[in-house]
Structure 1
Amino acid sequence: MSLDADQIVERRRLRRKVTFWRVLGVLGVVAAVAVGVSALIGRDIPASSPHVARIMIGGIIRNDRERVELLEEIGRSRASAVILSIDSPGGTVTGSEQLFDALRRLAAKKPVVAVVEGVAASGAYIAALGADHIVARRNALVGSVGVIYQFPNFTELLKTVGVTMEDIKSSPLKASPNPYTPVTPEARAAVDSLVKDSYAWFKDLVGDRRKLSDAKLANVSDGRVFTGHQGLELQLVDELGDERTARAWLAREKGVSEALKVRTWRTKEVGDEFGWLLGAARGVVSALGFPQAAALLTDAAKGALERSQLDGLLALWHPRS
């Protein structure tokens, strides 16, 4: 009887192992297919043929030399126009500035229209300002004109565990503020000057690109986000609609035929468009019987991965949950 019970337990263990490896095998196949499909979507149209180029701006914006080179390549291609599809909360100030400058150079060669699919906040709105025309969905979010500098401070925690950080510096403001000592008024003032300087640049950019009076600029530059509908009235966007609206504007104002096909251009880096990998990881953990842990793990991993790569001044909208 005991032998039969042991055999049953062993068979169950073997079955679990076989199931686990089958799941991994299926995920491997899905991953390979997804990579192939992602590489092919929107790229069946050769760059040497007349077309409308589509660029996706999603996730956290940071310095990206490959994306700048991609925009330069589009400028040399036979694309008749460019659609900038945006769904991003922003990112670093320098990364957003880099993207804006690259888009303005591209706009000098070809008409560029931005389409806000979900969010174009903070640094992503800076990217939208690089376009000649901004279209937003009625309930998309735009704006969040502002700059933030964040850093953790572990001073109280270190006191609790009995640890003191000592440093010897060439001057009082060297490496200040740091997370291990209380922030001095001088260090806070120094960072405040950085934030205000970048904020002034952001405000001036909005005022110049959107042709806003001082009064209207003050209304939209307090850090709030607005719906596309509100943004239209506030002159943050030019039209409500979607990519079809953008194509109609290109045809009407720039003479770009609506019969031209759209080609999606992508960099070679694995970016936010590969969010399916997180989904696959979530599927594995769920298959093992931990659905809640899977949700927490993947959400936390995604947020941590993106924010861990950010440093310095941020033009980023992240509502508190």
Structure 2
Amino acid sequence: MQFAHLAQRLFNRPLAIHRDKAEVIMAALAERLGVTRMVNVDGAAIRPNASFYDEDDGYQYRDRDNGYDLVGNVAVIPVHGTLVQKLGTLRPWSGMTGYDGIRQAFMTAMNDEDVKAVVLDVDSPGGEVAGCFDLVDTIYGARGDKPIYSILTESAYSAGYAIASSANKIYVPRTGGTGSIGVICMHVDFSKALTSAGIEVTFIHYGDRKADGHSEIPLSKEAFDRFQADINTMGELFVETVARNRNIAARQVRDTQAVTYLGADGVTKGLADAVAAPDAAFRALIAELA
């Protein structure tokens, strides 16, 4: 069983956790753990779509995970770690967050009557280009329906910044960062190492450019120029997207040359709206909703 170790940590051992929160965890993991039905000690079934409010920490919890937490009437969506196109989970997992999970959580939150605003809790160095800008366009297109804030905890770089920029406002802490608006690709040439080891690699292919980019052969000028053109296209898409999202000139974004900016420097460059600790930024949003 893939989750056998997790099951051993949850069942038949004492846990220091609130009962209701334990039910949330079990409801979220039940299918993966092979649990088909859950009941309370009194025999009453646990409702899969039930929700409750915990007065101790102010969170709204739901038995079925929608990919966000309700803090009052604000949906908080985590955008943490390396960003990938398809992760297949609603929450960050193993140091990664999927664009698919963010999209699902965001769309659910926007259609949730209990949600009056959305916070993107961003702490990411970036990730894959694939899927990123489609997600950014989805979030940007929802502006005006509900307030959307990006609260950085701690930094938003590259693809992480692209997502952060889709919100109405961006708050960055003093030691947090923004920027790295660029695209990068690596090619590793192992051909000399293989030759030194007495290994000869022969590619049998149809199409003159089919073997371009393989690490067993040097990168030709033709291949480099083609790959650079693709990188330039994606880079310009990044620049134009940020310029639109932040309502600043594309030249201003392009001139950053993928530099990263600490705290207030990002505000000066137009990449964030204010410097604030995450809790202070959240209180500012709550004040706006009042």
Q: TM-score, normalised by structure 2?
A: 0.70
Deviates more, 1:178-187 or 1:235-244: 235-244
Write out aligned runs for 1:67-106 (5 A): 67-78=102-113, 79-106=115-142
Cα distance, 1:157 vs structure 2: 1.6
Q: Which amino acid aligns with 2:264?
A: H
CA distance in 2, matches of 1:30, 1:173: 53
Equivalent residue of 2:215, what SS?
Answer: coil
> Cα gap change, 1:38/1:181 in structure 2, threshold over 3 Å: closer, same or farther?
farther
SS at structure 2 position matched to 1:158:
helix
Distance 1:116 1:38, change over 3 A: farther
Contact 1:55 1:82 in 2 (8 A): yes
Larger Rg: 1
Residues 139-154 of structure 1 correspond to what in structure 2 (within 5 A)? 139-154=175-190
- Partner SS state of residue 145, structure 1: coil
Match of 1:228 in 2: 263
Kindly report structure 1 stretches of 4+ aligned residues shifted beyond 4 Å: 25-28, 30-38, 40-43
Tell me how far apart the structure 2 counterparts of residues 70 and 85 of structure 1 sit (CA, whole Å): 12
Q: CA deviation at 1:71?
A: 1.6
1:240 aligns with 2:271: no
Structure 1 equivalent of residue 289 of structure 2 = 256
The equivalences for 1:74-223 within 5 A come to: 74-78=109-113, 79-213=115-249, 216-220=252-256, 222-223=257-258
CA distance in 2, matches of 1:215, 1:106: 26
Q: Is the 8 A contact 1:63 1:98 kept in 2?
A: no
User: Of residues 13, 29, 34 in structure 1, which corresponds to 2:9?
Assistant: 29
Q: Which blocks of at least 5 consecutive residues in structure 2 are unaligned?
A: 27-56, 87-99
User: Residues 121-176 of structure 1, C-alpha deviation per residue, up to 9 Å, x if partnerless?
Assistant: 00000000110100000110110010001132211121012111112332221241
Residue in 1 that maps onto 2:95: none
Higher helix proportion (structure 1 or 2): 1
Structure 1, 116-125 or 241-250: larger mean CA deviation: 241-250
**For residues 199 and 38 of structure 1, do their structure 2 counterparts lie closer, same or farther at Cα, with a shift above 3 Å needed?**
farther
Residue aligned with 1:114, SS:
strand
Q: Which residue of 2 aligns with 1:66?
A: 101
Q: Which of 25, 36, 43 is the matching residue for 1:39?
A: 25
What count of residue pairs does the alignment treat as equivalent?
230
Mapped partners of 1:175, 1:111: distance in 2:
48
**Per the alignment, do residues 241 and 38 of structure 1 end up closer, same or farther by CA in structure 2, a change over 3 Å counting?**
farther
**Contact kept? 1:152, 1:179, Cα under 8 Å:** yes
Deviation at residue 26 of structure 1 after TM alignment? 11
What are structure 1's unaligned runs of at least 5 residues? 1-24, 258-321
Take 1:67 and 1:140, find their aligned partners in 2: how far apart are those partners?
A: 22
- Matched residue type, 1:99: L
Deviations along 1:255-311, whole A, 9 cap, x unmatched? Answer: 413xxxxxxxxxxxxxxxxxxxxxxxxxxxxxxxxxxxxxxxxxxxxxxxxxxxxxx
Identity, % of aligned positions: 21
Alpha carbons of structure 1 residues 89 and 28: separation in structure 2 relative to 1, 3 Å? same
- Measured against aligned partners, the alpha-carbon deviations of 1:180-218 in whole angstroms (never above 9, x if no partner) come to 111110000110000000001111112222222355334
Distance change >3 Å, CA 177–CA 124, structure 1 → 2: same
RMSD: 3.1
Counterpart in the other structure of 1:56: 78
CA distance in 1, matches of 2:75, 2:124: 19
How far 1:107 sits from its partner (Å)? 3.2
